[in-house]
Structures are given as C-alpha cells and as structure tokens.
Amino acid sequence: MTPDEIFAVVRRNLLDVLPELTESQITLDHSMRELGANSIDRMDVVIATQDDLGVRVPAEQLTRANDLRSLVAVLSEHV
C-alpha cells in the first residue's frame, strides 16, 4: 500500500470523526489537533485507521507522529 493510499484512509477516518471538515482542509502538513480533533477524536481516527489497514502500531511509535505526514510514515512501516 502506498503512502497516498494510507493517507486516503486517514483522511476518510478524519472526515468520519470530524464531519465539519472538508476533504481539501486535510493536508499532510496538518496535525489532527490543528484540524480541531481532541484527544478522543485522535484516538478514534488512529484506531479506525489501524483497523482499516489491518495493522497494530505500538503506542510509542505513534507518539512521534506530529502531523499527518509523519502518521502516514509510521503506518507505512507496518503495512
């Protein structure tokens, strides 16, 4: 799976959790916090994305993801 495909999954899950966002607002350079996601929202997005991708990423690896680009990179290591 390519990084673009992983980003599409993350974006879809973000839109599910934060329906007030538009697809064009979600870029790799944003953090979920910048997009208005609280800690529970962020957890929901990450868990849903891991489920969709069929992976489990250790929490300590997820903590180094400061924006969506780095989240996609961490997820890519496990796909």
Ordered structural domains, the chain, with CATH: 3-76 (1.10.1200.10)
Model pLDDT, residue 34: 97
Model pLDDT, residue 25: 96
3-state SS record for 21-63: CCHHHCCCCCCCCCCCCCHHHHHHHHHHHHHHHCCCCCHHHHC
Integer Cα distance of 32 and 14 in angstroms:
8
The tens digit of pLDDT for each residue in 16-39 reads 999 999 999 999 999 999 999 999
The tens digit of pLDDT for each residue in 31-69 reads 999 999 999 999 999 999 999 999 999 999 999 999 999
Model pLDDT, residue 1: 93
